[in-house]
Structure 1
Amino acid sequence: MFALPDSWVWDFWFADDGEQYHLFFLYASRALHDPEARHYRASIGHAVSADLTHWTRVQDALVRADVPAFDDLATWTGSVVRHPDGTWFLFYTGSTRAPEGKNIQRIGYATSPDLMTWHKSDTPPLGADPRWYETLQQGQWHDEAFRDPWVFPDPAGRSWHMLITARATHGPAFERGVVGHAVSTDLRHWEVRPPLSAPAVRGFGQLEVTQTEIVDGQAVLLFSCLAEHASQQRRATGTRGGIWAAPAQSLLGPYDIDAAEQVTDDRFYSGKLIRRRADERWILMAFHHTGPDGAFVGSISDPMPVAWDGRRLTVDAPTPTGVLSADCTPVATGA
């Protein structure tokens, strides 16, 4: 487990340089007292590990900019990829304050030769294109959602794709969550495209920290959403929210959001899949969200093996009484 005694830790992402795993994570001081206040005090920390279990913290990656800037309120979730020329790119969310305490989110990037020292780009950030994505002016949501960039190479190798937490311009407020999309040929210049999913009756107000991978031969879209941000149909089932997985026809969709199933409940959030080099197995890591007392926790889990069982993504997730079964209920382990 990765935890900081004086700070909450939540959303995170990885880079693998072939020798070490690099963990980039959001953190904020517990001196704020209210964990909800952490969002506007977030910086991007950095730790390294040889086994995804034992971590050594190193120098921070990024902090927010001075006013005025697209990231002058906070730096939020992102992803890291390596350009063919060897340059590492860290794509991240920048938040800036809007009227009435709301915020507008855009996406920028920083580069590094070694994953340790990062320099922000002067390239204008990506924002929500009102042709396809809801903006703050529509008044349907508590912020202008355009964040959590997940960048990966095109399967054919001709370009790069970015998945984005975004909202459609139509539909009930709690069904508008979509997978935003942008493309690039060089990682430096991006074109916003229409979303790769549509609002769904059994959908979500937001699909946070998306990731797409092929697990046991099945393309899967991983995302997170809490119960209070899910559609009416989802909430009617009594879901607590958490980490979800939707089947897909390919890494680029279509994604069947209506068919999304819970991977964990809200004890875990912001799940990330990574292939462990030691055994080539897909594992899930997530941050500890809700504790037994209902309070926010703020630390990152140990690796949890996952598999596709033919219908859903299953995970061996430890709990105080065992592991989570496919329906997110505790199962005794005999330990």
Structure 2
Amino acid sequence: MFTYKSKKALTTFALATTLITSVFVPLQADGAETTVNWTREQVSKIEQTADNTAPYINGEEVEKISSDYHIWDTWPLRNRDGSIAVINGYKVIFSLTAPSDVLPGKRHDIAEIRYFVSKNGKDWELGGTVFPEGEALGSRQWAGSAMVDDGKLHFFYTTTGRKGEDHITYEQRLAKASADIEITKKDGISFNNWSNHDVILEPEGKYYQTMEEGMQGDIAYAFRDPWFFEDPKTGEEYILFEGNSNGTPAERQCEPEHIGSEEFRANHEVPENSKLFNGSIGIAKSTNEDLTEYEIMPPLVEANCVNQELERPHMVTKGNKYYLFTDTHLNKFAPGTSGPDGLFGFVSDSLVGGYQPLNDSGLVVANPKDNPYQAYSWTVLPNGTIVSFLNFFDLGDKTIDDIGHQSREWQFDHFGGTLAPSLKISIHQDKTKIVKEKDPGVFK
């Protein structure tokens, strides 16, 4: 048995098997009233420059880390304080995967989480599936996060759909399970002696839209991507996640605070269906040592009338500030606004409340205009390295919506399904800048 110990960083920044019936009671935290909206005025300031546009990726030159599987959303094994874990000399990453002979557009419907290991943080070898067959909740599993403490893996993931469902559904809940980390000469790193799988969070309808509300005319529904975060100022522990603002379309309208300043509003038209765009970044506070019980809190950021999906939210801390990052697609922006497939970010002096967009607009990294879908699912590591996966590339004049109408061969030829070249950014106060491109899959 391998035992790994780490201490909580209190003063330094290092950064269910079935549906449970627990009631998630909203927690009114300090600063809760300062939930901010990413406004249409702020988004109007988006401009691609050399400082925020990633280099063009020649997808045909990127070597796949696995010929047997598509891989996409990927995250590292971290220590409890958020730093990247090293287990017996190995770094570990986790990825959503599907067999490589599955059409790229169908991969989400059968996603499984696998792990890879590396001695140098850039050459990855497949370890295997994370969960024993049949034990994970849902008809498939979507992205999450993982941390190690005292030799035990704590794994958070999105359970999507239900086992045995007759038709694929998009119900999403947040789940957690734990396992022992074992090191053997024969098998390398493995995860054994799994705990029960527990649903830890569901949308409660006060701050976060339920699936039933979302089905009453909205574009899409989201409650996913749990990201564990220990606050280095207090040692308290949280889960960040993607959600949607509460309510049904009939109950919502675009308010002045969603649009911007009085001067901007005077000259800006807001199409009626903009109210269907209600992405949010949620947060919940852990209330027990097992990290299975939480008090749900108001969102950190909402994008009402601006954007539908604020995916893969995660936090990096630096210089006494909290940096909140998220990913979104160009086709998720509301009518009358626009932005690229990219990584976006916000900064605050407080964990809860007061977030303002980085670089005035929020844009941190964008795909180049001549290869607008080349990468996605960017994750910022504590040292400023950004990792992502190679998505659809060299589409010519086609959009993401055209891909499913192309031949099977064409779809495979234009999909990466592996780790993209990593990037390095500098972060200074409320400004960021791309400073370097690294090799594909570099986690250091």
Same fold (TM over 0.5): yes
Give the 5 Å matches for 1:148-227. Answer: 148-170=225-247, 171=252, 172-184=274-286, 185-200=288-303, 203-215=306-318, 218-227=321-330
Asked if 1:269 is matched to 2:372, the reply is: no
Amino acid in structure 1 at the alignment position of 2:95 = F
SS in 2 for 1:116: strand
* Aligned partner letter, 1:116: S
Q: Which residue of 2 aligns with 1:72?
A: 138
1:135 aligns with 2:210: yes
Indicate the residue corresponding to 2:147 in structure 1. 81
1:20 equivalent in alignment to 2:93: no
Distance 1:259 1:233 in 2: 15
Out of 297, 300, 309, the residue aligned to residue 419 of structure 2 is 300
Aligned to 2:116: 47
Aligned to 2:80: none
Do 1:285 and 1:304's aligned partners in 2 also have CA atoms closer than 8 Å? yes
- When residues 217 and 160 of structure 1 are mapped into structure 2, their CA distance, relative to the original with a 3 A threshold, is closer
- Give the percent of matched residue pairs that are identical in Structure 1 and Structure 2: 21
Q: Which moved more, 1:221-230 or 1:141-150?
A: 141-150
The structure-2 alpha-carbon separation of the partners of 1:211 and 1:102, relative to structure 1 and needing over 3 Å to count, comes to same
Secondary structure in 1 matching 2:384: strand
Q: Deviations over 1:126-165 (max 9, x none)?
A: 2111121111222244554111001011223442100011
Q: Distance in 2 between matches of 1:145 and 1:274?
A: 24
Could you tell me whether the CA contact under 8 Å between 2:200 and 2:293 is conserved in 1? no
Q: How far did residue 44 of structure 1 move? A: 0.6
Aligned pair count? 306
Following superposition, the deviation at residue 50 of structure 1 comes to: 2.6
> Which secondary structure does the structure 2 equivalent of 1:17 belong to?
coil
Range moving further from structure 2, 52-61 or 186-195: 186-195
SS in 2 for 1:228: helix
Quick one: distance in 1 between partners of 2:228 and 2:66? 28
Please report the TM-score for the alignment, with normalisation by the length of structure 1. Answer: 0.80
Among residues 336, 340, 343, which one is paired with 1:243 in the alignment?
A: 343
| Residues 216 and 312 of structure 1: CA distance in aligned 2, closer, same or farther (over 3 Å) | same
Distance 2:117 2:176 in 1: 21
**Larger fraction in strand:** 1
Name structure 1 gaps, 5 residues minimum. 276-280, 320-335
Contact 2:139 2:159 in 1 (8 A): yes
- Give the TM-score normalised by structure 2: 0.62
Shift of 1:26: 0.5
Q: For residues 121 and 186 of structure 1, do their structure 2 counterparts lie closer, same or farther at Cα, with a shift above 3 Å needed?
A: same
Q: Offset at 1:213?
A: 0.5
Counterpart of 1:56 (choices 113, 121, 125) is 125
What amino acid does structure 1 have at the position aligned with 2:289? D
Question: Given that residues 226 and 242 in structure 1 are in contact (C-alpha distance below 8 angstroms), is that contact kept between their aligned partners in structure 2?
Answer: yes
* Aligned counterpart, 2:107: 38
> AA paired with 2:423?
M
Which of 382, 393, 400 is 1:291 aligned to? 393
Secondary structure at 2:326's aligned position in 1?
strand
Deviation of the 1:175 alpha carbon: 3.5
CA RMSD of aligned residues (A): 2.9
Which structure exhibits the higher relative contact order, with contacts defined as CA atoms closer than 8 Å and separated by 6 or more residues?
2
Amino acid in the other structure paired with 2:246 = T
Deviations 1:201-256 (A, max 9, x none): 57321110011112466532111110111233432xxx332221222333444323
Tell me which moved more, 245-254 or 10-19.
245-254
Would the aligned equivalents of 1:201 and 1:233 in 2 still touch at CA under 8 Å?
Answer: no
1:94 aligns with 2:159: yes
Counterpart of 1:326?
A: none
* Contact 2:300–2:352 (Cα < 8 Å) also in 1: no
Q: How far apart in 2 are the matches of 1:240 and 1:289? A: 14
Unaligned regions of 5+ residues in structure 2, if any? Answer: 1-62, 78-83, 182-188, 253-273, 368-372, 397-413, 439-444
- Which residue among 345, 350, 354 is the counterpart of 1:254? 354
Larger radius of gyration: 2
Which stretch of structure 1 is more off in the superposition, 196-205 or 184-193? 196-205
Once residues 114 and 91 of structure 2 are traced to their aligned partners in structure 1, the CA distance between those partners, rounded to angstroms, is 14
Contact 1:210 1:221 (8 Å CA) reproduced: yes
Counterpart among 154, 172, 176 of residue 109 in structure 1: 176
